Amino acid sequence: MKRVLAGVATALAAALTLSACGSSDPLAEDTGDGGTKESISVGSANFPESQLLAEIYSQALEAKGVQVDRQFDLGSREKYYEGLEDGSIDLIPEYTGVLLQFINKEAPEVASDEVYAALQKVLPSNLTVLDQAAAEDKDAVVVTKETADKWSLKSIEDLVPYCKEVVFGAAPEFKTRPDGIPGIAERYGCTFKSFSSLEPGAITTKALLDDTVQAADIFTTDAAIEANGLIVLEDPKNNFAAQNVVPLVNKDKASDTVKEALNAISAKLDTDTLMELNARLNAPDKPDYADVAEEWLGEIGG
């Protein structure tokens, strides 16, 4: 009996050894032809544009034969970044300026290329960014046209005399982020009457239109800005750095296939395109972001 068990153990060990030689990735899928299929987990933040970009990345990778595990709607950067560091998430669409300031709160860079270069230097050793897109989606201080007309507002600087009358609405993390409430206070000397913690997107827009808040943080590519005639205040003191869309990925998963697929997406994605994709996502029939992603990839030949 001992000899039989020893034989089984030897055979099992040999099988495991052969399996290990066939793939360095324990999550790689056997294709049945002696090769393996790459696999990657793709995450997104908790707002529609991030989910749409994550789906575009996912479908582009699947078209190249990569197995994708979707982990969308993970919350804010404060919540999902730990997953990137520990490897439970491999890839997520990011924005250069806010990611840089998240890692280095004292980062002084504001211009696009400078931000991108600085970001590459401060990332943890297991993470990297691929090509950044021309597409930029920045945080912005936004008001209604009525408020802009009432106080003759064109810039954040114009808002300063009225800050103590303003309830400011934004996602909870904006209250403590370097370019959020602290940054506005430091660069413009603006102290708001109060802060209202709101979910990004439609809830923030509604609060602004209802005058529950008089100013809000709304992303510049949000289709609600144009649809509701909202006014994006200029930022002459560059509180908000460049925020180009960029894939943030685990280095171990940044194979040539992954790089080529995602860099091709970044090459096609500019700000006007991103705004148009958000408008499609916000259409009256409320299409699923997977359908919007598939449609756009078909248009660009992805």
- Domain ranges in the chain? 38-137+242-300, 141-232
Cβ atoms of 266 and 60 closer than 8 Å: no
Residues 6+ apart with CB under 8 A from 42: 54, 57, 58, 61, 68, 69, 70, 71, 72, 89, 90, 91, 92
Cβ atoms of 275 and 142 closer than 8 Å: no
pLDDT of residue 37: 84
Residues 6+ apart with CB under 8 A from 69: 39, 40, 41, 42
pLDDT one digit per residue (tens) for the chain, 302 residues: 333 334 434 443 444 343 333 333 433 444 444 445 899 999 999 999 999 999 999 999 999 999 999 999 999 999 999 999 999 999 999 999 999 999 999 999 999 999 999 999 999 999 999 999 999 999 999 999 999 999 999 999 999 999 999 999 999 999 999 999 999 999 999 999 999 999 988 999 999 999 999 999 999 999 899 999 999 999 999 999 999 999 999 999 999 999 999 999 999 999 999 999 999 998 888 899 999 999 999 999 86
CATH code for residues 38-137+242-300: 3.40.190.10
pLDDT of residue 200: 87
pLDDT of residue 5: 36
Structure-block tokens of residue 249:
């990925």
Phi, psi (rounded to 5 degrees) for 270: -115, 175
Domains 38-137+242-300 and 141-232 share a fold: yes
- pLDDT tens, position by position, 155-206: 999 999 999 999 999 999 999 999 999 999 999 999 999 999 999 889 999 9
Give the integer Cα–Cα distance in Å for 143 and 151: 11
Give the integer Cα–Cα distance in Å for 198 and 225: 17
**H or E element, residue 279:** helix 271-281
C-alpha closest to that of 231 among 139, 155, 138: 155
Residues 6+ apart with CB under 8 A from 243: 95, 96, 97, 98, 136, 137, 138, 139
pLDDT of residue 97: 96
Residue 98: HSE in the Cβ half-sphere, 13 Å Cα cutoff: 24
Q: In 10 A of CB 63, how many CB atoms?
A: 11
Q: What fold characterizes domain 141-232?
A: D-Maltodextrin-Binding Protein; domain 2 (3.40.190)
